[in-house]
Every structure is written in structure tokens, then in C-alpha cells.
């Protein structure tokens, strides 16, 4: 089985794939001070509750946008799972061309989303990832990554609104009961929800105007199902796209390593 680790700015997601489907998925808040032993104490219990054993994990891959978290995630794989993890960086064979000014600066999550989307759905396409930031990633008809746009995530906007305006409460995002809010909470929820729907629709419209043909629009990230309720923009809602990107990347590179091993020559 393959263990996939997606370390984002807000959460670290661990998921296990058995070669056919995902058999378990768990998340923990991102903390770059968390040690390999702390990851083990938490995740090994999760595996056991789902009928999985450490010995079931034969391979692992890590994708992270938090460099400080990499050391202990890698050490966890080595010390507790006894596997050497792949790391989703420029040293791997992506089989996926990125036509950007500085490919080394491209976040692993953005490249992974583009990789998974073009393999699953084919280009041209735009991936909208609702995470700590709201990322827009563009793939052309030939399956090449073209770049995109980055906007503040909705939860960052909620926090900024609360901190900058003393009388406005901190709140969670949700679809408002009405666009016209008759109290502060509904008014805030309306502005945040419909404001982000408008932001996404507007950016995708401008991106589409620069492309040769109309792209498919894929929504991913934890808030993708919520925002898909407010617009007909999305052709596909795929909350686990980054995990699929890590899986495809791992499968490609483990297969290449096996074909190049001395035993096969």
C-alpha cells in the first residue's frame, strides 16, 4: 500500500491507497514543531482503528508547501514505517511540462493539482483549489501547465475582517440564508460567500478569455463542495485532487525506478 502525505499550510493529510482505491484518510493541524514521534503516536492509532497495520505500508510520498515540516515527516516514514519516502520536488520525473518563468518556485500543491487534473479529465482546464490560499491553475490542451492566479483564501479573509473591525465577530464560512443580511452575522456570511463566488467566477472568466478553447473547470480543496452550491461554474468537484496527484507521481517514479534497477538489466 502507498501512504500519501499532503502537508499544507493549515492541515497535514495522510491517506492510504491500496492500488485500487483510497482505504483511509486522516488529517491533523499543521505544526512545524510536531515531531516524528508525535506523528507516529497519532497516525499509527488511526491505522489500527481502520484495520491497517504499519507493515501494510510499502511505499510513501510527501508533498509539502511547509518546508519546515519536511524533516520530521520524512523521519517518521523512515523510523516508524521503515520506508524511504519520495518527496514531490523537481528531482522527480513528473512527465508534465510547466511553462512558467521559474519552475522551481512553483508550489508542489499547484503542480500536483495540474498533474492529477490533466490525467483524470484532460486539458484544457482550470483547477480552483480552495485552501489557505485560493489557487487557480491552468493546463492547456496539450497537457502543459501554464501558470495561474493566487488569491487569499476565504478563511484568511474572515480572520482579517475580524481583526481589522473590532465590532465584527470571528465566524465560520457557510452559505448564507439570504443575500440581504438583516443582522451582522448574515451580512458577513453573505459578503464572504457571494464575494468569493464572484471572485472565482471573475478570475476564471478572465483566464478563459486568454485560452484558445473553453476550459473545463475543476474545484478541489475542503471548501469546494460548499462553493459549488453557489455557482454552475464547475464541471467537476474533486476534493482529493492533490492526493491523486501525489499518487500518480509516486506510481510513475516507483515504476521508473523499478524499470531502471540492476535486477531488471
Count of domains forming the chain: 2
Task: Please tell me whether residues 151 and 241 are part of one structural domain.
Answer: yes
Does the annotation place 87 within a ligand binding site?
Answer: no
Q: Is 110 annotated as a binding residue?
A: yes
Asked if the structure places residue 43 within a domain, the reply is: yes
Based on the domain organization, do 159 and 82 belong to the same domain? no
Same domain, 109 and 83: no
Nine cell digits for residue 208: 478563459
pLDDT at 263: 58
Q: Is 10 annotated as a binding residue?
A: yes
Q: Are residues 240 and 130 in the same domain?
A: yes
pTM of this prediction?
0.86
Catalytic residues: 109
* Residue 92 belongs to a domain: no
pLDDT of residue 62: 96
The answer to whether 60 and 80 have CB atoms below 8 angstroms apart is: no
Across 37-41, 53-57, 173-177, 196-200, least confident range: 173-177
Q: Which residue range(s) make up the domain with 115?
A: 103-246
Tell me if 108 is assigned to a ligand binding site.
yes
Residues 143 and 242 in one domain: yes
Band (pLDDT 50/70/90 cuts) for residue 265 is very low
252 part of a folded domain:
no
Q: Are residues 158 and 242 in the same domain?
A: yes
In a domain, 24, yes or no: yes
The CATH number of the domain where 22 resides is what?
3.30.420.40
Please list the residues that pair with 253 across neighbouring strands: none
Residue 4, SS3? strand
CA–CA dist 105, 67 (Å, integer):
13
In the chain, the percentage of residues whose pLDDT exceeds 70 is 94
Beta bridge partner(s), residue 145: 98, 139
148 and 45 co-located in one domain: no
From 56, 87, 118, the end of a domain falls on 87
80 and 109 share one domain:
no
Amino acid at each position: 500500500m502507498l501512504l500519501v502525505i499532503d502537508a499544507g499550510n493549515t492541515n497535514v493529510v495522510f491517506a492510504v491507497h491500496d492500488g485500487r482505491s483510497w482505504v483511509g484518510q486522516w488529517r491533523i493541524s499543521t505544526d512545524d514543531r510536531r515531531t516524528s514521534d508525535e506523528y507516529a503516536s497519532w497516525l499509527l492509532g488511526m491505522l489500527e482503528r481502520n484495520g491497517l497495520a504499519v507493515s501494510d505500508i510499502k511505499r510513501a510520498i510527501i508533498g509539502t508547501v511547509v518546508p519546515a515540516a519536511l524533516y520530521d515527516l520524512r523521519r517518521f516514514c523512515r523510523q516508524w514505517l521503515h520506508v524511504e519516502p519520495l518527496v514531490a520536488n523537481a528531482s522527480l520525473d513528473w512527465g508534465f511540462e510547466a511553462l512558467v518563468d521559474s519552475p522551481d518556485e512553483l508550489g508542489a500543491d499547484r503542480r500536483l493539482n495540474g498533474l492529477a487534473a490533466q490525467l483524470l479529465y484532460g486539458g484544457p482546464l482550470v483547477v480552483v483549489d480552495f485552501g489557505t490560499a485560493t489557487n487557480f491553475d491552468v493546463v492547456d490542451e496539450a497537457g502543459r501547465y501554464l501558470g495561474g492566479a493566487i488569491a487569499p483564501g476565504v478563511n484568511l479573509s474572515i480572520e482579517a475582517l475580524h481583526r481589522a473591525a473590532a465590532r465584527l465577530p470571528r465566524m465560520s464560512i457557510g452559505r448564507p440564508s439570504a443575500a440581504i443580511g438583516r443582522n451582522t452575522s448574515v451580512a458577513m456570511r453573505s459578503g464572504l460567500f457571494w464575494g468569493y463566488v464572484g471572485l472565482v467566477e471573475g478570475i476564471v472568466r478572465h483566464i478563459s478569455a486568454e485560452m484558445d478553447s473553453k476550459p473545463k473547470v475543476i474545484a478541489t480543496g475542503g471548501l469546494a463542495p460548499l462553493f459549488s452550491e453557489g455557482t454552475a461554474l464547475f464541471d467537476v468537484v474533486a476534493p482529493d485532487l492533490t492526493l491523486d496527484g501525489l499518487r500518480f507521481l509516486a506510481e510513475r517514479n516507483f515504476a521508473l525506478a523499478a524499470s531502471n534497477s540492476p535486477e531488471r538489466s
